[in-house]
Structure 1
Amino acid sequence: MADFKHVGLIGRPGSERALHTLKRLIRYLHSCGTNVVLEESTATALPGHTMEVCSYEALGKACDLVIVVGGDGSLLGAARSLAKYKVPLLGVNRGRLGFLTDITPNDIENKVGEVLDGKYMMETRFLLDTSVIRKGALIGGGDALNDVVVHPGRFIRMIEFELYIDGQFVYSQRSDGLIVSTPTGSTAYALSGGGPIMHPKLDAIVIVPMNPHTLSSRPIVVDGNSEIRILIGEHNSAYPHVTCDGQNHVVTNPGDEIHIHKKPHKLQLLHPLNHNFYETCRSKLGWGSHLGE
């Protein structure tokens, strides 16, 4: 029996479908005698409730489990805020693909009930820490569960940069940018950029060029403990953006440095017992089923 007495809830803001599922989930959790705690912005969508309301920080400290109702984007945001508190996350999918949020709304009572009974799988996923350095000073940064992307921003033009891994020069490149992805993010933007699918258990980082100005430039998979440094070229006419999980943005200047490495704390992600990474790939990416089916 799992000891999930205090369960935090985070819902996708502005989504009627997520709100409907959230209300159904609350009714079920209350029927199980579970203490339900709402994240602040989620609580505003439920006027008149009598449940405890907490910030992300308080949620991470007070809860034994946090359930996210929404798409992968909702879970990415929760993961970046809560991973350091070591509170496990469980996703209910009300988005589109749903590689991370793998419980369907129709299975809420069954699958959440199994998790509350201790019948679940736990995975750990690492995040990336990003810092933008200008003339020796930190000007911005962020965390990423999926990926860190260097791109030209609103303007479609090539950018110039140099890539270093563990202090060693790798190459200079002119391209539309660079994707630095975790295994979790390998089925997201990096995949559309031609990167490999990596199993979530791998301790590795993939670096994927975006439309490079040479046919010989290919994705590189490196050790997960690698220190990655990207030096923005002095002669760029664009001011490249650094985006973490598509949600946090920093604008760089020519000469800035972007430092990327693994964060020390990991996300604890729960799945139902029947979770299968390859089955998820088959259903989400349209891979072929057994011959004859």
Structure 2
Amino acid sequence: MTKPFQRVLLVSKYRDPSVLPGLQRLRDFLLAQDIPTFLETQCAVDIGDSLGLPLLSFAEANADADLVIALGGDGTLLGTARQTAQSGIPILGINQGRLGFLADLSIDQVSEVLPPILKGHYQQDLRSVLHAELWRGEECVHAGLAINEVLIHKGGGESMIELRVQIDGRFVYTQRADGLIIATPTGSTAYAMSAGGPILTPALAALLLVPICPHTLTARPLVVADTVEVRARLTASRQSAALSLDSHYSIPLEIGDEVVIRRAPCSARLIHPEEENFFQILRGKLHWAESPGED
């Protein structure tokens, strides 16, 4: 048994009115359990309603006592994780999206699953985080965190881009493709999986490099230790190219720009029910066949 939570901070999908019934349901349940409940400050602005709850920002939350419940899909949880990774505030995902590898509980499970978690019966899941820097000459023009992947892609253009990739200063290849995904084990079940990459278990200390529709058919996904530094320089692009972190936004790239990716010193701290495991999630989400009576 781990430490029980003393307060709950609710956050929901960005500017989506469909989350209101779910937020109200969570609010009513938590208050009925005499759990002090808050709504994240920016979330209240986005939905235009405080739900009658006191407001609390991520900066004011306490990693030792507070639980963040993120209502939405994996995108909502990823956005929350990027904001809380450096402080270590734990996050429980309630899925109101589609597939939901990270936000793996449904709103209908709240009354059954939430009380034990609030009392300290849960498992912690520390997920690695990537730190990416965009260098233009001698200037770092952008830096940010990614929980799933750092994506270098052709933007809105039709032509492939060309990237020169190095790992720890050693030349790997010059790749012509629609893009390159540098993913964490968490991101291995996201865009990287759609592009043909392998699934990595979350605790694996690894990074995954997956080319998107490469020009060379022998190009294959590459798994490396997460202690390395990956550098990808844009050497050719006829039209446009861009950098995205967790597909959250796109930053236009210029020829000669270099993206430097390392594992960040912080981790995203996810919370799951005690009995849950990664393979159970995979079976449920990917509809893998399982033998009768198999755990």
TM-score by length of 1: 0.94
- The residue that corresponds to 1:53 in the other structure is 55
**1:170-181 equivalence runs, <5 A:** 170-181=172-183
d(CA) in 1 for partners of 2:64, 2:21: 25
CA distance 1:106–1:11, change in 2 (3 Å): same
Q: Cα deviation per residue 1:85-110 (whole Å; 9 max; x = unaligned)?
A: 11110011111111111111111011
Deviation (angstroms), 1:141: 2.7
- The residue that corresponds to 1:192 in the other structure is 194
**1:34-49 equivalence runs, <5 A:** 34-44=35-45, 45=47, 47=49, 49=51
Equivalent residue letter for 1:253: E
Whether contact under 8 Å (1:141, 1:250) holds in the other structure is: no
CA distance 1:232–1:284, change in 2 (3 Å): same
Whether contact under 8 Å (2:4, 2:117) holds in the other structure is: no
Percent sequence identity is: 38
d(CA) in 1 for partners of 2:146, 2:205: 15
**1:69-80 equivalence runs, <5 A:** 69-80=71-82
Q: Could you tell me which of 211, 214, 239 is aligned with 1:212?
A: 214
Which consecutive residues of structure 1, in runs of 5 or more, have no partner in the other structure? none
Whether contact under 8 Å (2:44, 2:50) holds in the other structure is: no
d(CA) in 2 for partners of 1:290, 1:268: 32
Report the RMSD for the aligned CA atoms in angstroms.
1.9
SS class of match (1:216): coil
**1:134-283 equivalence runs, <5 A:** 134-233=136-235, 235-283=236-284
Q: In the comparison of the two structures, how many residue pairs are matched?
A: 292
d(CA) in 2 for partners of 1:193, 1:9: 33
Equivalent residue letter for 2:98: R
- The residue that corresponds to 1:97 in the other structure is 99
d(CA) in 2 for partners of 1:287, 1:249: 34
CA distance 1:48–1:184, change in 2 (3 Å): closer
CA distance 1:114–1:160, change in 2 (3 Å): same
TM-score by length of 2: 0.93
